[in-house]
Structure 1
Amino acid sequence: MHILKKNENIKRATVCEVEEVVAKAESIRPTYYNLFGDAASRVSFRTTDIFDISNIPKSADTYMLKNIVHDWSDDQCDSLLQNISHVFDGNYEKRVLVVEKIVNTTKISPRTAGHDIVKCVLFDDQVKHRTLDSFSKMFLRNGFEVTKITPLLDTDYYAIEGKLLKRSRCRFQTTNLEHL
């Protein structure tokens, strides 16, 4: 809703989530109206299994995966990106936007290292934060090119934008990544 509030040109957004999250979001919708005004009316919530291609809305121009990729193995992320690529149906104007932390392997903070250790112990040894290189490779092997990387405020989070790969295009633009 923050995105919708700042971008009035976006007519509507659909949040695809598990049933419990959708139910909670709907139950506190009045709070959203107080915080986000008209933007709250442009959001719908949909119970979805993100790995089931039949559940992915096909009419969107942009598909955003926020805090999703770090919870899954490379194979599971590949499956998800392949599903999105299939839904794009050859439309080179559609975008995928992954919002995640990008790890600098030469400068790992204790906070990031501790977070990864806890996740590996409690959840699965396949979950991880990824480097810029691993995101680029993940996009490429699933038919996308990274077209832009934007740091989000003063955090470890970045918006990694991709489009379907055209035959000989394989470059991307970075913005303010000196601190990586």
Structure 2
Amino acid sequence: MTQLTESSQAQLPPHVRLMTIVAGKWMAQPIVILAELDVAEALADGPLDTPALAARVGAEADALGRILRAAACLGVVARDPGGAGWRMTVVGEKLRAGVPNSLRDFTLFMGDPATMSSFAALTGTMRGEGPAFDLAHGRPLFEHLAHAPELARRYQGAWGPLTAELAEEAARDYDFARFRVLADIGGGNGELLSGLLTALPGARGVLVDRPDVLETARARFADGPLADRVDFSPIGELPTDADAYVLKNVLHCFTDDACADLLADVAAAMKGRPHTRLILVEAVIAEDDRFDWAKFIDIEVMANNGGRERTAAEWRALLTRAGFSLTSITPTTPPQSIIEARLA
């Protein structure tokens, strides 16, 4: 079956090309359904035909067959050459939980009605009415997550596997070895800190986040090899002994004003210690009109958080406003970069 590719799209009439963009849910939702039904796990032991697969995942065979047919066009599933039925492709395998770079929770979070509805309210954001998620749900995303434990679990799970890979790349791309103590602010379940400390056997870390998030993180580290190298601190109590303060994809969730307030707290913790560094792991948007995933992530954070991705000039301006001086930007796993700053 011919898969949809960039080259095949370029051959379509202009109105059809636009239609494939506008009707993006036609392609996204079948993948969400595969994740919801855990089809990748059902096929982990080998191919199954549609009736057998439907029985295993609790679906109606005809409807599931149509979803699989569409997903095959996208290269997510494929028909087994031996005629045994359906199998997951290397792309579709990422819908399994626990595999490297798993996107199962990411897919479920993106396809959740709560986050989908925020995009339906995005026009209100254009009119200055506030973040779309707030308009759709009557409260901000992070407040909503505190009352929706399954969605909160998916939110944390969405970024964990990707962060684990990023940590390995970041440790190779940037000189973290000069730091003795890393404070990971808003570090969630500790995937980034864990990866960095694994690569830096002489360092220790402090994970900073909300108390409910830290509770889960403590359990994760308790029986592992890093248990005696990680401390925990709630938001609002930044450690003053760290020599690197790391924030990964935290600031893109907030407005410039909110970011400046947060960075002021970090600056206070760094005060009087000129060797310390602020390390931001964030996207840096291309200034021109080339394709850049960060420009689409920017829409996601605008809708769900009222935040924004930033260009290099915008990062420099924000850091200067908060009393920092930008010293370097090091590209790492796309679309992320490592932005280093010191106190001005």
Question: Smaller-chain TM-score range?
Answer: 0.7 to 0.9
Evaluate the alpha carbon distance shift between residue 77 and residue 62 of structure 1 in structure 2; reply closer, same or farther with a 3 A threshold: same
- Please give the alpha-carbon distance, in whole angstroms, between the structure 2 residues aligned to 1:143 and 1:122: 28
Q: 2:234 aligns with which of 32, 47, 54?
A: 47
Task: Give 1:2's aligned residue.
Answer: 195
Aligned-residue identity in percent: 26
Structure 1-normalised TM-score? Answer: 0.75
What value does the CA root-mean-square deviation take over the aligned residues? 1.9
Separation in 2, partners of 1:79, 1:118 = 22
1:9-158 correspondence to structure 2 within 5 Å: 9-10=202-203, 12-29=204-221, 33=224, 37=225, 39-48=226-235, 52=236, 55-107=237-289, 109=291, 111-124=293-306, 127-153=307-333, 155-158=334-337
Alignment check: 8 A CA contact 1:90 1:164 kept: no
SS at match of 1:28: helix
Q: Deviations over 1:126-146 (max 9, x none)?
A: x01111111111111222111
C-alpha distance 144-111 of structure 1, shift in aligned 2 (>3 A): closer
Normalised TM-score (structure 2)? 0.41
CA distance in 1, matches of 2:267, 2:222: 35
State the shift of 1:112 in Å.
3.2
State whether structure 2 residue 343 is matched by structure 1 residue 164.
Answer: yes
**CA offset at residue 80 of structure 1?**
1.2
Aligned residues: 151
Structure 2 unaligned segments of length 5 or more: list them. Answer: 1-193
Q: Equivalents in 2 of 1:120, 1:80: separation in Å?
A: 18
Q: Quick one: which amino acid aligns to residue 43 of structure 1?
A: V
More strand by share: 1
Structure whose CA Rg is larger: 2
Which structure has more RCO (C-alpha within 8 Å, separation ≥ 6)? 1
Distance 2:284 2:216 in 1: 30
Question: Which one has a larger percent helix, Structure 1 or Structure 2?
Answer: 2
After TM superposition, give the deviation of residue 82 of structure 1 in Å.
1.4
Letter in 1 for 2:196: I
